Amino acid sequence: MGPKILKEEEIQAFQRDIYTYYEHHRRDLPWRNTRNPYHILVSEIMLQQTQVERVIEKYGEFIAAFPDVSSLAGASLKDVLGVWQGLGYNRRARALLLAAGIMVTTYGGKVPASVEELSRLPGIGKTTAGEIVAFAFNLPALFIETNIRRVFIHHFFPVESVAVKDREIMSLVEATLDRGHPRDWYYALMDYGTMLAKVVGNPNRRSAHYKKQSSFANSDREIRGAIVRALLKEPVLTRDELQQRVDVEPARMERILSGMMGEGLVREDNGSYRIT
């Protein structure tokens, strides 16, 4: 089946519905009250796989600690992780630190304004790059994230539709994009999608890309977070000391530590471990 072709009146009616909801129910989020590209970049990386409420709690603290690209680039990973705690997925903090270093050396401490350049930075894929370009620079980038996916599946694919592919949605995102006001349009779509999740369930279950997030309890993510917290509290720990502080079987500890060392989060020196 070919891509859906929308008539102009369908596009206008869809935009009208989205903007009408946004006019009355827009969310007041701190990163929406700035045009600072670096601050917006930080918020978008924080929002990867993390609930908005948790990001609200940490965003201001992080910006206060590292107010610009240069201050972040000059920080240690330990300092960055110390502020990052509570957001999870600590590899994002390291990627953000590396990205800041590249922005200083390659872009004069500025955030690049193209999807191509942004997506080459650590921790920033095409979706996050598109979000930064739209929100920081008000440019008509194309991207799909979870709330946008929910809106388009709900509006344009009947309930019997299953395994809806993102490429089918992307053609509709492009057709309906308000190119004169991409920042407000994407904010409106995201707010509408957040509302849909509360009132109609989750249309994203009909996406071909839908994956239910695994439980956090006793997951590798939980163990990794515990290791980072232990090393932030006590900067150098032997393997036995880590084992005592993080209650996990030795073989699993070995595997997780090996992965964290491979990612550059932790290093081992003569049997002792520390934040890189």
Q: What confidence tens digit (pLDDT) does each residue in 82-134 have?
A: 999 999 999 999 999 999 999 999 999 999 999 999 999 999 999 999 999 99
d(CA 250, CA 259): 14
83 and 121 assigned to the same domain? yes
45 and 116 assigned to the same domain? yes
156 and 76 assigned to the same domain? no
Q: Is 42 a member of any domain?
A: yes
| Residue 150, domain extent | 8-26+144-181+198-206
Q: What is the pLDDT of residue 1?
A: 53
User: Which residues neighbour 202 within 8 Å (Cβ) at sequence distance 6 or greater?
Assistant: 150
- What does the DSSP assignment read for 49-94? TS-HHHHHHHHHHHHHHS-SHHHHHTS-HHHHHHHHTTS--THHHH
133 and 50 assigned to the same domain? yes
pTM reported for the whole predicted model = 0.93
Catalytic-role residue among 10, 23, 44, 168: 44
Q: Is 265 a member of any domain?
A: yes
User: Which residues neighbour 83 within 8 Å (Cβ) at sequence distance 6 or greater?
Assistant: 58, 61, 62, 65, 66
128 and 53 assigned to the same domain? yes
Full 3-state SS string of 173-212:
HHHHCCCCCHHHHHHHHHHHHHHHHHHCCCHHHHECCCCC
Number of domains in the chain: 3
Q: Is 214 a member of any domain?
A: no
Q: Is 2 a member of any domain?
A: no
Q: Is 211 a member of any domain?
A: no
44 is catalytic: yes
Sign of the Cα pseudo-torsion (109, 110, 111, 112, in order): negative
Q: What is the pLDDT of residues 140-197, one digit of tens each?
A: 999 999 999 999 999 999 877 788 999 999 999 999 999 999 999 999 999 999 999 9
Q: What is the pLDDT of residue 190?
A: 98
